[in-house]
Amino acid sequence: MSKLRVNCFTISVDGYGAGPEQTEQNPLGKNARELHQWFYPTRTFQGMFGDESKGTTGLDDDFARQGAENLGAWILGRNMFGPIRGAWPDAAWRGWWGNNPPYHVPVFVLTHHARPSLEMEGGTTFHFITGGIEEALERARAAAGARDIRIGGGAATIRQYLRAGLIDEMHLAISPVLLGSGEHLLQGLDLRALGYQVTTQVATEKATHVFIQRSGA
């Protein structure tokens, strides 16, 4: 059976997955680009947006590459798709990534406001789900078949799936920076009580990679 995974989700030492003051010009929030200095230089990241022959190799790249393997669908919170709030004014906004987003499989976007599915280049189709996290997961499982489903974020979406005990595996990259405020990933959650445990931790120069698994997953 396919797994529901979180991969390469980066948090600060004080637990924030995004900074404050998120805008269209600064989608990660204030100072949050500092979180991803382990990821941006990797060959995997460079290959997503350009030349696969460029970029660094090593453990950080290994973890980035593993996060993209065996995926049949993604689930995103609405803020991960775009900065628009409330009802969609029109269909002009088509995501942060241009005409060829880096997903290449169906993507299910959680929203309170209906919108027709959006087919993009490279195999990505965005489906906008108004029925909540269970409907999104059911649709994603049907699309993924035997392959896994990855939750891309944001933090609030991951918290919802953790609280429901639906995430099987989670890879967090803890970056050695302090944000002070923003979107906290684990606020209000008792992962131990929810049946999660740390299985592996690996430190690199720019991050500490922590792997968490749900009992029985």
**What are the pLDDT digits (tens) for 71-83?**
999 999 999 999 9
Asked whether residue 123 is assigned to any structural domain, the reply reads yes
Q: Which residues contact 26 (CB under 8 A, 6 or more apart)?
A: none
Asked whether residue 60 is assigned to any structural domain, the reply reads yes
- Per residue in 122-160, pLDDT (tens digit) is 999 999 999 999 999 999 999 999 999 999 999 999 999
Asked whether residue 112 is assigned to any structural domain, the reply reads yes
Q: What is the DSSP string of 129-158?
A: E-S-HHHHHHHHHHHHTTSEEEEEE-HHHH
Asked whether residue 107 is assigned to any structural domain, the reply reads yes
pTM summary value: 0.95
Asked whether residue 164 is assigned to any structural domain, the reply reads yes
Asked whether residue 90 is assigned to any structural domain, the reply reads no
Asked whether residue 156 is assigned to any structural domain, the reply reads yes
Q: List the CATH number of the domain containing 23.
A: 3.40.430.10
State which residues form the domain around 154: 4-84+96-214
The count of domains in the chain is 1
* pLDDT of amino acid 53: 74
Q: Which residues contact 95 (CB under 8 A, 6 or more apart)?
A: 81, 82, 101, 118, 120, 126
Distance CA 88, CA 106 (A): 20
Asked whether residue 53 is assigned to any structural domain, the reply reads yes
- Per residue in 174-215, pLDDT (tens digit) is 999 999 999 999 999 999 999 999 999 999 999 999 999 999
Question: Average pLDDT over the chain, rounded to whole?
Answer: 94
Residue 53's CB is within 10 A of a number of other CB atoms, namely 8
Q: What is the band of 40 on the pLDDT scale with cuts at 50, 70, 90?
A: very high
* pLDDT of amino acid 168: 98
φ, ψ of residue 20 in degrees (nearest 5): -75, 170
